């Protein structure tokens, strides 16, 4: 693409084109430039919205994400009802209903010791949690948003460690559930954890996680990472029940809502 020749100024300090470029050519060039910048900006925003955590967001996006825990209503972070089109085993649809929201808090006593130690490098600004059940109230899933105090390099470092050491697959690093009294999750304790997922974002100071189990309080001897439980042919009890899909599907949708809220925050006029 050619943007023509540079502009100069006439004797009255008015812009004038140099060379032979006409006004229409100048206008076309300006439009191309604006459209090009818009496409670049849209691509960056779009990659964040679809979940490309390999590309770090802008400083303003990172800062906006870190402030959502106190600036966005809980119903936007954890909607009362979450639709999971195609999120179940075999592409079945899922609907999750929120049954409890934990008071926002720090991270003391919110994680098992080993997971707390693994997350310690990024700090803990605030922890938000909610528990959902499926349409039949057979399963319960706690989803959490850990807002950290880390900068972008700190989050990238932790994400790399989780990936290289496969920390998100270790059963001794499972998140804890939030078992709210007088709900279907009342018996959802540490021994009832069946499947889980942990995602360390690099474009936001947030760790997203989810852990699922049965609502009847049964203990689980062989919990599985959600990814393993969702593998075709997996035969463990969590896999057969679709609990990997419960954890991963709900975590994915809460993360998407987080990204949408960040976009809304960054688009607000200053």
Cα separation of 150 and 203, whole Å? 11
Rounding to the nearest 10 degrees, give the CA dihedral for residues 76, 77, 82, 83.
80
pLDDT given for residue 139 in this prediction: 97
pLDDT given for residue 71 in this prediction: 84
Cα separation of 261 and 231, whole Å? 31
pLDDT given for residue 43 in this prediction: 36
pLDDT given for residue 109 in this prediction: 86
- List residues bridging with 134 in a β-sheet: 96
pLDDT given for residue 42 in this prediction: 38
Cα separation of 205 and 211, whole Å? 20
Residue 154 host element (H or E) = helix 152-165
Residue 184 in contact with residue 213, Cβ under 8 Å?
Answer: no
Name the pTM for this structure: 0.78
In tens, the pLDDT along 72-87 reads 999 999 999 999 888 8
Residue 184 in contact with residue 99, Cβ under 8 Å?
Answer: yes
Residue 122 in contact with residue 148, Cβ under 8 Å?
Answer: yes
| Phi then psi dihedrals of residue 130, to 5 deg | -145, 150
In tens, the pLDDT along 18-37 reads 334 444 444 444 434 433 43
What does DSSP assign to residue 105? B
pLDDT given for residue 244 in this prediction: 97
Stretches where the chain sits below pLDDT 50 are 1-56, 270
Using alpha carbons, select from 87, 89, 86 the residue that is nearest to residue 240.
89
pLDDT given for residue 265 in this prediction: 78
């Amino acid at each position: 693409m050619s943007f023509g020749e540079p502009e100069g100024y006439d004797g009255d300090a008015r812009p004038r084109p140099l060379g032979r470029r006409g006004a229409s050519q100048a206008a076309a060039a300006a439009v191309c430039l604006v459209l090009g910048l818009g496409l670049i900006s849209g691509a960056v925003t779009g990659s964040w919205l679809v979940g490309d955590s390999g590309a770090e967001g802008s400083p303003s996006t990172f800062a906006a994400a870190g402030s959502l825990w106190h600036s966005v209503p809980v119903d936007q972070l954890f909607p009362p009802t979450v639709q999971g089109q195609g999120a179940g085993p075999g592409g079945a649809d899922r609907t999750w209903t929120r049954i409890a929201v934990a008071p926002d808090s720090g991270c003391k006593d919110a994680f098992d010791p080993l997971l707390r130690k693994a997350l310690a490098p990024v700090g803990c600004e605030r922890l938000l949690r909610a528990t959902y059940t499926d349409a039949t109230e057979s399963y319960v899933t706690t989803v959490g948003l850990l807002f950290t105090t880390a900068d972008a390099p700190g989050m990238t470092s932790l994400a790399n460690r989780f990936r290289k050491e496969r920390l998100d697959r270790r059963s001794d690093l499972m998140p804890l559930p939030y078992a709210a009294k007088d709900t279907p999750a009342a018996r959802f304790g540490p021994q009832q954890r069946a499947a889980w997922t942990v995602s360390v974002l690099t474009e936001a100071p947030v760790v997203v996680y989810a852990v699922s189990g049965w609502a009847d309080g049964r203990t689980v001897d062989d919990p599985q990472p959600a990814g393993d439980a969702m593998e075709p042919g997996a035969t463990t009890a969590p896999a057969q029940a679709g609990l990997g899909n419960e954890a991963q599907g709900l975590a994915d949708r809460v993360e998407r809502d987080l990204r949408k809220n960040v976009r809304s925050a960054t688009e607000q006029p200053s």
